[in-house]
């Protein structure tokens, strides 16, 4: 197979997203993010990286790191909890005690808390007040680990109908969800799960975290019932949990991340080429997330775009007119290998080893048009690519079908299993 002209294969963190090809560095992406952020490191632990440092995030399956890292790019989000991991300050305990430094947390430090019931037949909880705005969508999350009981409850009274979900911390499942709540549970290893609820605010009320001895039961059965908690996060106008944002006395905002400006006019061939990306969305939600070769205008682009939870679009736009447009229905929260080939009257698209479309009519770009590769639509950040990236490759010639099939196919069963988050037993 021909050698790519540009190749991004995540291997290092820094002030850029570093491309391995071309070796001159012209293929590196300019990266921006003001402030720090967290990632999952190679040991499966939550780790903070500094201001403006890109993030390599390691995939976890069943609580264990599996496979190679990917770049992660996230939108701006604020953790509105004043004390994300200090439950004896702005939080108020009821029918319970909270004890710091009780067990090792998902950060690898001895900084998780124990919440324990002090009375019987009462609601054990630790509570944080918040002035919600009716109509906002929120996501509330907390890392939880089983103690003497195996269930944790995440709740906000600002969603009528109960506003809470029960999480099975032994089997890693979401159990009862009250009306208006969608629960999600993620395995972070060592018995820890990130438990979150998402819903739309329709009243007022506080936030609660609680242990429970059974599903759909919130009253304590005995003195001493406990679970462990760490890292609470409240995200306003977000319908999924993003990476953990620590707070210590005030709300903290992680700014949006950008990665743009890879390559130049000598990198890209206006007459023919192939753009390939192995990508996944951050979560199942609607919203355009685009990777584009273009000229920073709305008129010329070779694009791969995640549209929603089950839709990837690929297209070539020349002079403001689409020359081809292809659609693939796949779960976008899993990794997919996508590519689009362009050449005069010879366009095609492939996903996961299968050709999904061909177009034999269309023109290509005037000489000197294509000059940059961006993790957005090029001329606007409204379609910025927020997601996970395992690789991006660009070829400056139109490859054969057998080469395109090979480029988008899984190299092994384990490669496919890791990309699709399967467990191999």
Give the DSSP per-residue string, 242-301: -S----BSS-EEEPPPEEE-B--TTTS-SSEEEEEEEEEESSS----EEEEEE-SSSS-E
DSSP output for 160-222: SSB-EEEEETTTTEEEEE-BT-EEEEEEEETTEEEEEEEEE--S---EEEEEESSTT--B-SS
Q: What is the pLDDT of residue 286?
A: 76
pLDDT digits (tens, 9 = 90+) for 301-314: 999 999 988 999 99
Compute the distance between CA of residue 228 and CA of residue 225 in angstroms, rounded to an integer: 11
Which pTM value belongs to this model?
Answer: 0.94
Quote the tokens at residue 176.
């009862």
Burial class, 397, CB count within 10 angstroms (exposed 0-12 / middle 13-18 / buried 19+): middle
pLDDT score, position 162: 87
> Which tokens is 273 given?
């080429």
Q: Which residues of the chain have pLDDT under 50?
A: 413, 424
Q: Tokens 């089950």 correspond to what residue?
A: 310
Range list of H helices, 294-412: 401-408
pLDDT of 413 reads 46
| pLDDT given at position 301 | 97
SS (H, E, C) 397-418: CCCCHHHHHHHHCCCCHHHHHH
Of 281, 279, 404, 307, the C-alpha closest to 347 is 404
**Half-sphere exposure at residue 358, Cβ-oriented, CA atoms within 13 angstroms:** 6
Tell me what pLDDT residue 380 has: 74
Residues sharing a CB contact under 8 Å with residue 171, sequence separation 6 or more, in sequence order: none
Domains of the chain in sequence order: 6-74+257-419 (2.60.120.200), 79-254 (2.60.120.260)
Pairing of strands 258-260, 372-374: unpaired
pLDDT for the residue 155: 97
Q: Tell me: the pLDDT tens digits for 206-228?
A: 999 999 999 999 999 999 999 99
């Amino acid at each position: 197979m021909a050698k790519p002209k540009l190749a991004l294969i995540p291997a290092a963190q820094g002030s850029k997203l570093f491309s391995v090809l071309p070796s001159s560095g012209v293929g590196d992406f300019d990266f921006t993010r003001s402030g720090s952020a967290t990632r999952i490191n190679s040991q499966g632990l939550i780790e903070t990286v500094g201001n403006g440092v890109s993030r390599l995030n390691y995939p976890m399956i069943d609580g264990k790191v599996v496979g190679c890292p990917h770049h992660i790019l996230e939108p701006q989000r604020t953790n509105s909890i004043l004390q994300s991991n200090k439950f004896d300050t702005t939080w108020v305990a009821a029918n319970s005690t909270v004890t710091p430094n009780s067990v090792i947390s998902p950060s690898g430090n001895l900084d998780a808390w124990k919440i324990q019931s002090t009375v019987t037949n009462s609601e054990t909880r630790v509570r944080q007040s918040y002035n919600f705005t009716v109509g906002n969508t929120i996501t509330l999350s907390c890392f939880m680990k089983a103690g003497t009981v195996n269930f944790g409850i995440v709740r906000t009274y600002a969603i009528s109908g109960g506003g809470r979900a029960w999480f099975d911390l032994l089997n890693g499942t979401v159990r009862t969800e009250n009306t208006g709540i969608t629960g999600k549970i993620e395995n972070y290893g060592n018995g820890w799960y990130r438990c979150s609820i998402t819903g739309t605010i329709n009243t007022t009320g506080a936030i609660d975290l609680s242990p429970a001895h059974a599903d759909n039961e919130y009253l304590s059965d005995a003195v001493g019932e406990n679970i462990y908690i760490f890292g609470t996060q409240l995200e306003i106008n977000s319908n999924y949990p993003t990476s953990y944002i620590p707070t210590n006395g005030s709300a903290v905002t992680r700014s949006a991340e950008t990665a743009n400006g890879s390559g130049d006019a000598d990198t890209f061939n206006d007459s023919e080429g192939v753009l390939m990306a192995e990508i996944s969305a951050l979560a199942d939600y609607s919203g355009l997330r685009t990777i584009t070769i273009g000229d920073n205008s709305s008129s010329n682009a070779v694009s791969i775009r995640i549209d929603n939870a089950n839709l990837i679009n690929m297209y070539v736009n020349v002079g403001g007119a689409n020359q081809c447009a292809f659609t693939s229905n796949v779960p976008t929260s899993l990794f997919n290998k996508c590519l689009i080939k362009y050449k005069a009257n010879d366009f095609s698209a492939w996903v996961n080893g299968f050709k999904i479309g061909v177009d034999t009519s269309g023109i290509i770009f005037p000489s000197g048009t294509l000059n940059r590769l961006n993790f957005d639509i090029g001329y606007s950040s409204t379609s910025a690519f927020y997601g996970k990236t395992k690789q991006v490759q660009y070829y400056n010639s139109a490859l054969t079908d057998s080469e395109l099939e090979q480029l988008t196919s899984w190299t092994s069963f384990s490669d496919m299993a890791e990309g699709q988050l399967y467990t191999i037993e």
